[in-house]
Amino acid sequence: MKILILCSDNSCLSQMAQGWLQSFDKSLTVAGISPAIEVHPLAVQTLASSGIDIS
């Protein structure tokens, strides 16, 4: 199965979804219409508390 998560800036929610879903299946693609330069720090911190690295 292929999954595409498309987001406007690809900096927070889509990155969190990617990190969480990739812990189950590595064949996932995430994209942004106007991608941010970096992942939102709160998204990194939130998933890090669950042992998922999206930094």
Q: Mind spelling out the 3-state secondary structure of 1-55?
A: CCEEEEECCCCCHHHHHHHHHHCCCCCEEEEECCCCCCCCHHHHHHHHCCCCCCC
Domain range for residue 34?
3-48
- 45 pLDDT tier (thresholds 50, 70, 90): very high
Say if 54 falls within a structural domain: no
Model confidence pTM above 0.75: no
Span 16-29, pLDDT tens digits: 888 888 877 777 77
Determine, yes or no, domain membership for 17.
Answer: yes
Q: Is residue 55 part of a domain?
A: no
Evaluate if residue 52 carries a pLDDT over 80: yes
For residue 53, is it within any domain?
no
Mean pLDDT of the chain: 84
Are the C-beta atoms of 21 and 1 separated by less than 8 Å?
no
Domain total in the chain: 1
Residue 27 domain-assigned (yes or no): yes
